[in-house]
């Protein structure tokens, strides 16, 4: 069966409408690029880089942003600056654990190569570990791959599953990777979009739920032969949330924290070994580098609730989209990781969701 997005399977999550693409790129200006590396010699490698541009002027027109670490057993660079200033000043990278450094420096060198006049950069690069399917100790990601992902980035639909940073990932003991989704929050005559992109590499099988249905209890390892829990089912997930709502840095922190809700709905519990780290940025305000002051808009506190629901729903669906998009993969040491079987998913959903009476 060909891979699909969750909604293509007739399964809807949540109450709020999606944006036209049901992707992080529904937030105007956001662009996503992947660089994927799949090779068997000299080492078996399944890895890559995903880059997210909040907008193309990000090196000079900063966005407000904030992060939350639900479980910090992972790396996200740039967080002390986010905590201090709440400003995002470079594109965001996601890659494998051992390659965070090269990707982080590569964003600096990309800016230098483009003649960006700035003393230094403090980019945000996050990771999840792909060492079960990929020979991570070969440190396969290069500066060129990071630059490629930056250059390839574009608006429009986002490739999901085993691409970019998500190439070698595992989620609820199925093949995981990149997933995306979005929601539209319309209230008081205004419409804001919340878009989410995840690199999903976490979770125990039996905790997986789709719209509350205990999919992971039904599609056990026995049902799909060869499915085995790699490692200790800990893993990690990086969630990037974008919105065009005009938020202040402290509000971006709040929004980032709400990825926890969507992750919990999908079955994440912040297991010990998991690096569950979330970043939210707002394109609704721009702050010029070095401006003496900036006039900015702040969404009223009461109106955050709808954004929080949007963030939770889009995070949940982005995770499931990673699962429905990713294909079965064989990698390092001949290991095979099976994809979530879509027909089984549909059967389980039907079993637990009564027909409207």
CB 77 within 8 A of CB 123: yes
With the C-alpha atoms ordered 68, 244, 20, 125, is the resulting torsion angle positive or negative?
negative
When asked if residue 78 is in the footprint of a copy of itself (CB under 8 A), the reply is: yes
d(CA 198, CA 192): 20
- Cβ nearer to a copy of itself, comparing 153 with 310: 310
Binding mask 279-318 for a copy of itself (x = CB under 8 A): --------x--xxxxxxxxxxxxxxxx--xx--x------
Q: Between the CA of residue 79 and those of 55, 62, 184, what are the distances in Å?
A: 20, 15, 28
- The active-site residue out of 130, 236, 244, 282 is 236
- Cβ nearer to a copy of itself, comparing 160 with 202: 202
When asked if residue 84 is in the footprint of a copy of itself (CB under 8 A), the reply is: yes
- The active-site residue out of 134, 162, 274, 282 is 274
Closest by CA position to 321, among listed 4, 64, 58: 4
When asked if residue 194 is in the footprint of a copy of itself (CB under 8 A), the reply is: no
Q: Indicate which single residue of 178, 277, 319, 322 sits in contact with a copy of itself (rule: CB under 8 A).
A: 277
Q: Indicate which single residue of 17, 101, 157, 341 sits in contact with a copy of itself (rule: CB under 8 A).
A: 101
When asked if residue 28 is in the footprint of a copy of itself (CB under 8 A), the reply is: no
- Cβ nearer to a copy of itself, comparing 43 with 155: 43
In sequence order, which residues have a C-beta less than 8 Å from that of residue 117 and are 6 or more positions away? none
Q: H-helix or E-strand containing 333?
A: none
Q: Other CB atoms closer than 10 Å to residue 230's CB: what's the count? A: 15
When asked if residue 117 is in the footprint of a copy of itself (CB under 8 A), the reply is: no
Q: Other CB atoms closer than 10 Å to residue 80's CB: what's the count? A: 9
When asked if residue 2 is in the footprint of a copy of itself (CB under 8 A), the reply is: no
- The whole-angstrom distance between residue 265's C-alpha and the CA centroid of its chain comes to 16
Helix (H/G/I), strand (E/B), else coil: 260: helix
Q: Indicate which single residue of 271, 314, 339, 349 sits in contact with a copy of itself (rule: CB under 8 A).
A: 271
Residues 221-260 that bind a copy of itself (CB under 8 A): 231-232, 234, 246, 248-250, 254, 257-258, 260
Phi, psi of 36 (to 5 degrees): -115, 135
- Cβ nearer to a copy of itself, comparing 72 with 341: 72
Q: Is 236 a catalytic residue?
A: yes
Shortest Å distance, C-beta 256 to a copy of itself: 12
Helix (H/G/I), strand (E/B), else coil: 73: coil
Q: Is 274 a catalytic residue?
A: yes
When asked if residue 105 is in the footprint of a copy of itself (CB under 8 A), the reply is: yes
Helix (H/G/I), strand (E/B), else coil: 275: strand
Helix (H/G/I), strand (E/B), else coil: 282: strand
Q: Is it true that the peptide bond before 54 is cis, omega within 30 degrees of 0?
A: no
- Cβ nearer to a copy of itself, comparing 52 with 76: 76
Q: Indicate which single residue of 59, 70, 174, 202 sits in contact with a copy of itself (rule: CB under 8 A).
A: 70
Distance, first Cα to last Cα, the chain:
31
Name the one range near a copy of itself by CB under 8 A: 45-53, 125-133, 172-180, 320-328.
125-133
- The active-site residue out of 135, 181, 276, 282 is 276
Name the one range near a copy of itself by CB under 8 A: 2-10, 46-54, 128-136, 151-159.
128-136
CB 265 within 8 A of CB 228: no
Q: Indicate which single residue of 16, 21, 55, 73 sits in contact with a copy of itself (rule: CB under 8 A).
A: 73
Binding mask 154-193 for a copy of itself (x = CB under 8 A): ----------------------------------x-x---
Q: Between the CA of residue 124 and those of 75, 92, 180, 235, what are the distances in Å?
A: 10, 5, 19, 20
When asked if residue 49 is in the footprint of a copy of itself (CB under 8 A), the reply is: no
d(CA 276, CA 237): 5
Residues with active-site annotation: 236, 274, 276
């Amino acid at each position: 069966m060909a891979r699909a997005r969750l909604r293509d399977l007739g399964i809807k999550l949540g109450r709020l409408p999606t944006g036209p693409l049901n992707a992080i790129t529904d937030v105007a200006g956001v662009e996503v690029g992947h660089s994927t590396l799949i090779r068997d010699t000299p080492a078996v490698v399944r890895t890559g880089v995903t880059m997210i541009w909040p907008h193309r002027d990000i090196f000079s027109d900063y966005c407000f942003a904030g992060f939350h670490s639900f479980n910090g057993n992972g790396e996200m660079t740039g967080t002390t600056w986010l905590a201090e200033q709440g400003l995002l000043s470079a594109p965001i990278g996601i890659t494998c654990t051992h390659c965070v450094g090269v990707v982080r420096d590569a964003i600096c060198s990309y800016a230098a190569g483009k003649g960006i006049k700035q003393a230094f950069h403090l980019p945000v690069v996050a990771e999840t570990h792909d060492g079960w399917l990929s020979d991570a100790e070969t440190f396969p990601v290069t500066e060129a791959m990071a630059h490629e992902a930056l250059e390839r980035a574009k608006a429009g639909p986002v490739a999901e599953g085993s691409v970019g940073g998500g190439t070698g990932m595992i989620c609820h003991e199925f093949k995981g990777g990149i997933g995306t989704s979005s929601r539209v929050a319309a209230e008081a005559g205004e419409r804001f979009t919340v878009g989410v992109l995840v690199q999903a590499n976490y979770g125990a099988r039996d905790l997986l739920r789709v719209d509350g249905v205990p999919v992971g209890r039904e599609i056990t390892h026995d049902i799909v032969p060869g499915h085995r829990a790699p490692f200790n089912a800990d893993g990690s997930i990086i969630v990037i949330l974008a919105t065009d709502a005009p938020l202040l840095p402290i509000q971006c922190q709040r929004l980032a924290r709400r990825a926890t809700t969507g992750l919990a709905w999908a079955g994440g519990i912040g297991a010990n070994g998991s690096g569950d780290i979330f970043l939210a940025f707002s394109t609704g305000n721009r702050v010029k580098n070095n401006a003496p002051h900036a006039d900015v808009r702040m969404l009223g506190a009461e109106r955050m609730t709808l954004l929080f629901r949007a963030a939770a729903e889009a995070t949940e669906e982005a995770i499931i989209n990673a699962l429905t998009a990713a294909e079965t993969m064989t990698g390092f040491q001949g290991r095979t990781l099976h994809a979530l079987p879509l027909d089984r998913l549909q059967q389980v959903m039907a079993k637990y969701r009564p027909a409207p009476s």
